């Protein structure tokens, strides 16, 4: 008999290094998948951990193994603190994305640390994790994985747009889900805001006070990635190789960089929309709080940009990775080949079962 109710914790760490998102979730799976976010919290990274994760891309194999072990232990401790704080019991599973260190699907490789088998013993719970590797092995991009959740949980919207380290979007077209990364967002905006001594540009206030640099805007819009057709995805490697050197090639005041880059994001998003008045877009991720960015979306598109309640904004990815874990436990498809370009739809992720002695 199919289980009707699942209680899980969804765990997500994004490339913008804002912190670890944790959501205690109830899924009712009787007909469709209905959900409730029962508790949710973001644990900020310390400067030491931000630096460790940010520099992970340059580590050798032995150093990466060591970082993976330490991060798995650290991640488990964060999850245990969350469980203790909210007195959570009787979990079906903890469903964790881990943290992406390297993402090179064109080379058949992706690495998310924090997914070692011992995490189940640390947590004394079943763990579903490491969702991307199988898709890359099947010839896919390993990303984005969120669209199946968009389809099952948020199907009333024409588009679901997430604004985190990268902007990614999903839509149903010709009865198939299509999704991909559009461009970098907070990985770039936060990089330059930190040069001003701030973690991020609150509500886009610094950007709104800057001026437009026409040449930079044109150069950004001409990046080769934007001419590629989906399926396609981005990683921090692309930002460091293509975007940051381009911006740094000229001496531009940081408020002007932020202003110009925000308009660049708005233009790239508008390019992939139908821009019809009746089209509704669910906007989530940290960028949904950037008032200047949302204002620019409305300047360049006729679509209706809908900002949901803060729990959905902040924890949608943790919510959907919780759903991916539930689908894996049920043996159901949780990754769509129409989205990632893999050879077939599949049920991805590793299940580490905890057996009490």
- Shared domain for 152 and 284, answered yes or no, is yes
Q: Is residue 290 part of a domain?
A: yes
- Shared domain for 286 and 335, answered yes or no, is no
Distance (Å, whole) CA 325 – CA 345: 16
Give the structural domain span for 320. 5-141+316-352
Q: Is residue 330 part of a domain?
A: yes
Number of domains in the chain: 2
Q: Which residues pair with 11 in a beta bridge?
A: 22, 96
Please report which residue ranges of 86-146 form alpha helices under DSSP H: 119-123, 133-137
- Shared domain for 328 and 180, answered yes or no, is no
Q: Is residue 52 part of a domain?
A: yes
CATH, residue 320: 3.30.420.40
Distance (Å, whole) CA 100 – CA 223: 23
At 100, list the tokens.
């992406």
Residue 86: what pLDDT?
A: 98
User: What pTM value is reported for the model?
Assistant: 0.86
- Shared domain for 103 and 158, answered yes or no, is no
Identify the CA nearest to 303 among candidates 332, 326, 269: 269
- Shared domain for 70 and 181, answered yes or no, is no
Low-confidence ranges of the chain (pLDDT < 70): 1-2, 356-357
- Shared domain for 326 and 214, answered yes or no, is no
- Shared domain for 133 and 195, answered yes or no, is no
- Shared domain for 299 and 208, answered yes or no, is yes
- Shared domain for 117 and 206, answered yes or no, is no
- Shared domain for 294 and 341, answered yes or no, is no
Residue 117: what pLDDT?
A: 97
The DSSP symbol for 46 reads P
Residue 27: what pLDDT?
A: 97
Q: Which residues pair with 283 in a beta bridge?
A: 161
Residue 198: what pLDDT?
A: 95
Q: Give φ, ψ of 170 to 5 degrees.
A: -135, 150
- Shared domain for 111 and 207, answered yes or no, is no
**Residue pLDDT, tens place only, 258-301:** 999 999 999 999 999 999 999 999 999 899 999 999 999 999 99
Residue 1: what pLDDT?
A: 52
Identify the CA nearest to 191 among candidates 153, 245, 227: 245
Contacts of 38 (CB under 8 A, 6+ apart): 24, 25, 26
Please report which residue ranges of the chain form alpha helices under DSSP H: 47-54, 61-85, 119-123, 133-137, 147-153, 186-193, 205-208, 214-221, 236-238, 244-248, 254-271, 291-300, 310-329, 337-340
Q: Is residue 357 part of a domain?
A: no
- Shared domain for 234 and 332, answered yes or no, is no
The DSSP symbol for 175 reads T
Q: Is residue 223 a contact partner of residue 243, using CB atoms and an 8 Å limit?
A: yes
């Amino acid at each position: 008999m199919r289980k009707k109710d699942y209680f899980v914790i969804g765990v997500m760490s994004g490339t913008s290094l804002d912190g670890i998102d944790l959501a205690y979730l109830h899924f009712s799976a009787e007909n469709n998948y209905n959900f409730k976010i029962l508790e949710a919290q973001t644990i900020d990274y310390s400067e030491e951990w931000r630096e460790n994760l940010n520099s992970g891309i340059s580590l050798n194999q032995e150093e990466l193994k060591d970082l993976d072990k330490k991060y798995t232990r650290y991640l488990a401790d964060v999850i245990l603190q969350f469980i203790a704080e909210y007195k959570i019991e009787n979990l079906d599973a903890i469903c964790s994305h881990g943290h992406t260190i390297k993402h090179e699907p064109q080379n058949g490789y992706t690495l998310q640390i924090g997914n070692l088998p011992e995490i189940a013993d640390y947590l004394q719970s079943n763990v579903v994790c490491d969702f991307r590797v199988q898709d890359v092995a099947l010839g896919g991009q390993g990303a984005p994985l969120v669209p199946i959740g968009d389809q099952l949980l948020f199907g009333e919207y024409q588009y679901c747009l997430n604004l985190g380290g990268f902007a990614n979007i999903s839509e149903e077209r010709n009865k198939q889900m299509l999704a991909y990364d559009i461009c970098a967002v907070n990985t770039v905006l936060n990089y330059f805001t930190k040069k001003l001594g701030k973690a991020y540009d609150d509500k886009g206030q610094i950007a709104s006070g800057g001026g437009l640099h026409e040449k930079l805007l044109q150069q950004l819009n001409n990046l080769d990635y934007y001419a590629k057709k989906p399926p396609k995805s981005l990683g921090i490697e692309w930002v460091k190789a293509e975007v940051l050197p381009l911006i740094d090639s000229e001496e531009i005041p940081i408020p002007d960089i932020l202003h110009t880059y925000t308009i660049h994001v708005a233009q790239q998003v508008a390019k992939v929309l139908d821009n019809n008045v009746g089209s509704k877009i669910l906007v989530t991720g940290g960028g949904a709080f950037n008032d200047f960015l949302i204002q620019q979306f409305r300047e360049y598109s006729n679509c209706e940009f809908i900002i949901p309640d803060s729990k959905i904004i902040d924890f949608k990815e943790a919510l959907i990775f919780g759903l991916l874990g539930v689908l894996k436990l049920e043996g159901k498809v949780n990754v769509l080949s129409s989205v990632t370009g893999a050879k077939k739809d599949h049920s991805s992720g590793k299940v580490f079962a905890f057996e009490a002695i």
